[in-house]
Amino acid sequence: MKKHFYSHIVETSSLSLALGDMDLSQEERLHLVSLVESNLHHTILDAVLSELSEEDKKIFLHHVAHNEHDRVWELLNKKVENIEEKIKNAAESLKKELHKDIEDARSKS
């Protein structure tokens, strides 16, 4: 997984392991892991952006685009109360949904 500003508080290994237990080719598994990471990234960005003003959104996206993780956290901790908890909750909600989808797919095969 690419290192994102939230990588230290969000883990995806349980999803990778669940996909690893499925009867998939290496290419299919890598594609699905990539989709999981992309969905997770967009979910977290959405959760964060919904908490920021228009001006702060621009600053945040600039820091994210330049991988300035320290500046991202400096901004978020200053502007959003309990931001780490909000990120964790958004990630956990999506991961729960994806685990359910994986289980459904596994039971149908």
Give tens-digit pLDDT for 37-47: 999 999 999 99
Give the domain ranges of the chain. Answer: 13-103
Q: Provide the H-helix boundaries in the chain.
A: 13-20, 26-49, 54-65, 69-79, 83-108
For residue range 55-91, list pLDDT tens digits in order. 999 999 999 999 999 999 999 999 999 999 999 999 9
- Three-point CA angle 45, 2, 87, nearest 5°: 30
